[in-house]
Amino acid sequence: MRTDLFPAIEPNRTGMLPVDQRHTLYWEESGNPDGCPVIFLHGGPGAGTSPTHRRFFDPAFYRIIMVDQRGSGKSTPTAEIRDNTLQHLIADLEQLREHLKVQGWLVFGGSWGATLALAYGQSHPERCLGFILRGIFLGRMSELHWFMHGIRMTFPEAWRDFMEFLPAPERDDPLTSYHRRLTHPDPAIHLPAARAWSRYEGRCSTLLPGPDAQAAELGAAALCISRLEAHYFVNDVFLAEDQLLTNIGRLRRHPCTIVQGRYDMICPAATADELARAWPEARYVVVPDAGHAALEPGIRASLIAATEQFRLIHGSAFLTGAVV
């Protein structure tokens, strides 16, 4: 079974979809226009999509649909947190699905994308052909506390730099302090905070440091990622505690593969293990030599193997119109 990225491709078509009076979403399609629809849900929130994300899918079989969520990537306005909640993102996916005349799609998401995938699926299970999830984040208080404080147990240098960006009186509540700075209108205040936040996350995202792992703060996406993450975190991700686990029964009839790096410090494996125990029908793959990032070799290979497995097992059912 294939485990390498598929060749680079260009979109067949792109568009900008207005979803309300404030937000317009960038979307694109590539691959087979008549193929099995798959929706790629990026992480963050705020990370946006990239051309590499198309390459997880066989373009001869899949109709590859990607969208930049509110405030992310090419969507406008950039880094906008007004009218930006999990419930808005779920409704946006339904608007996009109807706009593209898709009856149902395979839902593929990692990290925050896995959170959105589960929340969307629990709201609209009849529109989901299955799930491929990576680096599980369920939006609970313990997971938010881990990101803000627990990572120091493994990455003390990165965490110390993250904390020491703030004045000493503000370090008792770093999330509130970062949120206040990241949402400040003055770039002289919000841009340094965005770089500090993104640098921290990038340094902790991979098992071994690579050229991209510590460059997040240099990209244009730094403000999108940091501001939107802080916005969602201070609002408890717009979820009730344990909501995604409590409602997992709505999804258990759907095929699912869960891919988790053993040494994921952003979204530790204990969370994926809880999801797998609550969803015993799902295929659970722990990559023994990987952290959090989707493009680490073992994670990448497991995700591509999952898209290929779905194609081989469920492809004939989709092509004949049978219910998956």
DSSP letter at 245 equals H
156-162 long-range contacts (CB < 8 A, ≥24 apart) are 158/199, 158/200, 158/203, 158/204, 159/200, 161/196, 161/199, 161/200, 162/196, 162/197, 162/199, 162/200
Of 263, 233, 53, nearest in space to 147 by CA: 233
What is the b/e burial string over 86-102, where b = at least 16 CB atoms within 10 angstroms of the residue's CB?
bebbbebbeebbeebeb
Active site residues: 111, 264, 292
For tokens 């405030």, the residue is 71
Q: Is 71 left (phi over 0), alpha (psi -120 to 50) or beta?
A: left
Report the distance separating Cα 259 and Cα 50, nearest Å: 20
- Computed on alpha carbons and rounded to an integer, the radius of gyration of the chain in Å comes to 19
Query: CB under 8 Å to 82, separation ≥6 — which residues?
Result: 22
Report the distance separating Cα 244 and Cα 228, nearest Å: 20
- Contact (CB, 8 A) for 175 and 234: yes
Report the distance separating Cα 149 and Cα 172, nearest Å: 11
Number of neighbours of residue 149 by Cβ within 10 angstroms: 13
